[in-house]
Structure 1
Amino acid sequence: MTETLPRVWLITGASSGFGFAMTKYALSKGDIAVATLRKPEVLDDLKAQYPAEQLLVVKLDVTKPEEVANAFTKTKEVFGRLDIVFNNAAFFVVGEVESTPEDVARSLFETNFWGASYVTREAIGFFRDVNKPGVGGRLLQISSQGGFFSFPGVAYYGATKYALEGLSQGLAGELDPEWNIKITIVEPGEFDTKVFTSNLVQPPIHPAYATKPHLPSNLFRQQYIAAPSKRQDPNKAVIKLYELASLENPPLRLPIGKDAIGFVKDQLEQVARDRESFAHWSDDLE
């Protein structure tokens, strides 16, 4: 019998939420984790539980390309291979388009899109050029239901995830099948993570919206930010994402969570209705 090697994961945003849950679960399954985060000391307790040959903690701010490259270099130096990249680091801004200062919006893009794109480029290069030919790898892009159905009150956040999804879908089409690199865009619904608490940024509400509690963006604040009892368990979700990383033919997109399934369905139906209603506008345009 041949012994199956433990898989090597590189996980960004490992300090909390999906990143922390995925790190813990991969380790519990006997896999190897390269856990990256801006403050490595956050994982001191976890680090004390596992030997250095199973858990490598690396300081990483994904907005700094040199730190992203360093994380992959350390992975190569210590383990010599990499099987799965869990591209998760992100933060959340709640605010209408008019309420969100430009510097906050740009910072959101720097982390959620550009940071994720730096990780993406390094992952693809590693899977193709460092792993043995044909071994490839799995890239799990942690997007959001907001990357498929943009909600009022978080439009800039949705825009970062739409951008990540566009990048990921286009990239998936560029890859040579011989490289055996598989990409899945994961679209979680509302889960109980720090994205709604300590990782949440809320600029002051624009005066034009502040006096109108019935507006959709204000209803979003009430329903999603102040309703923790409704949130799903990320520890249960990562069990499915772990399974996803083993599929021979994974989907390009994976909505996860009943709310995400519902919003994706609604969006697809709306697009289909609009297409059918106005398809004739494209007749005789040649």
Structure 2
Amino acid sequence: MAGKIWLVTGSSSGFGRLMTETALKHGDKVVATLRKPEALSELSSEYPSSQLLVLKLDVTKRDEVKKAFSAAHAHFGRIDVVFNNAGNIVFGPIEGTPDHLSRELFELNLWGAVNVSSTAVEGFREYNKPAGGHLIQMSSHAGITGFPRVGFYSGTKFALEGVTEALAAELDPTWNIKVTLLEPGSFYTGGHGRGDFAPPHPAYKQPDVSKMLNGEGMSDPVKGVEAVYRMASLHNPPLHFPLGKDALATISAKAKKLLAATEEYAGWSEGLELESKL
């Protein structure tokens, strides 16, 4: 894996920051993108520009995404792995969450990710010689099962899952582009107190967030990112990559429910064929 060139979005904190640091420590080169480059001033002073390039980027602006990828290609010559991580979360019930919060979340988590995805694929195909690359999408186990109080976040990740599966199916195998949906469970990155909070709704009981804020029952993000780094070195990385015991349990339970419903109501699809009009 050493010697690969990464482009990481949302590199100021959480998985993005840790992936940037992990790749650098393994000897790789990184293009770290974020809205406020000063957040990486410490890393910039530790690593030379021949190994780390920090760029300002708002992924919701397609022209900025294009410029960032162009700057990365000009600086390093190619990009091998894109860690499409930039995102946010909104806490609150579906009923009562202000429209502007939910729409802004979709703009960032879905459309921002789409901007990066399409630009990454173009770069892997058109600029890399030989062609190829690996797009890693930051999804979530909440993109497999909708969780209460983060329903709009789940919605953005459900949408990203569908778009990414379709994108992966559209790619010509000769382009040698790999796509992975990273589906982590709860990792204590210290960012669970961040995000946007909808105003409390009087009809809903307010949840106890103390365990979430202190990391109780969560996984270690440093170990998690190392696992993602190892996965990125596979010759044939998976399309779906659940990470964390809670993610495994969530996705396994969802798969069992879907299979049970399919089997229970299979008979309801009998006789629904369209009769020939010939």
Q: What TM-score do the two structures reach when normalised by structure 1?
A: 0.92
Gaps of 5+ in 1: none
CA contact (8 A) 2:2 2:26 kept: no
Matched, 1:263 2:250: yes
Which of 139, 142, 160 lines up with 1:146 in the alignment? 142
> Which residue pairs with 1:28 in the alignment?
25
CA distance in 2, matches of 1:274, 1:195: 36
Q: Does 1:183 align with 2:179?
A: yes
* TM-superposed deviation, 1:197: 1.6
1:125-274 matches, within 5 Å, as: 125-133=122-130, 135-198=131-194, 200-209=195-204, 213=205, 218-219=206-207, 221-222=208-209, 225-274=212-261
CA distance in 2, matches of 1:145, 1:43: 29
- In 2: Cα distance, 1:261 partner to 1:195 partner: 22
- Work out whether residues 143 and 158 of structure 2, in 8 Å CA contact, stay in contact via their aligned partners in 1: yes
Deviation >3 Å, runs of 4+: 221-227
Deviations along 1:156-195, one digit per CA (max 9) or x if unpaired, are 1000001111010000000000000000000010011244
User: Residues 41-90 of structure 1, C-alpha deviation per residue, up to 9 Å, x if partnerless?
Assistant: 00000111001000000001111111111110001110111100000000
**Residue-pair matches, total:** 273
Q: What's the CA shift for 1:243?
A: 1.0
1:43 aligns with 2:30: no
Q: Secondary structure at the match of 1:61?
A: coil
Alignment deviations for residues 220-272 of structure 1 (CA, whole Å, 9 cap, x no partner): x5476345232211111111111111111111101100000000001001111
Q: What is the letter of the counterpart of residue 65 of structure 2?
A: V
CA distance in 2, matches of 1:119, 1:148: 22
2:54: which partner in 1? 57
Q: For each residue in 1:10-68, what CA deviation from the matched residue of structure 2 results, as whole angstroms up to 9, or x when unmatched?
A: 00000000000000000000000000000000000011100100000000111111111
Task: Please state whether the residue corresponding to 2:203 is helix, strand or coil.
Answer: helix
**Residue type of the alignment partner of 1:202:** F
Note the C-alpha offset of 1:5.
6.8
Question: What secondary structure is seen at the aligned counterpart in 2 of 1:207?
Answer: coil
Residues 63, 111 of structure 1: 8 Å contact kept? yes
Distance 1:185 1:261 in 2: 14
Identity %: 48
> Contact (CA 8 Å) 2:193, 2:213: kept in 1 or not?
no
Q: TM-score, normalised by structure 2?
A: 0.95
Gaps of 5+ in 2: 274-278
Matched residue, 2:276: none
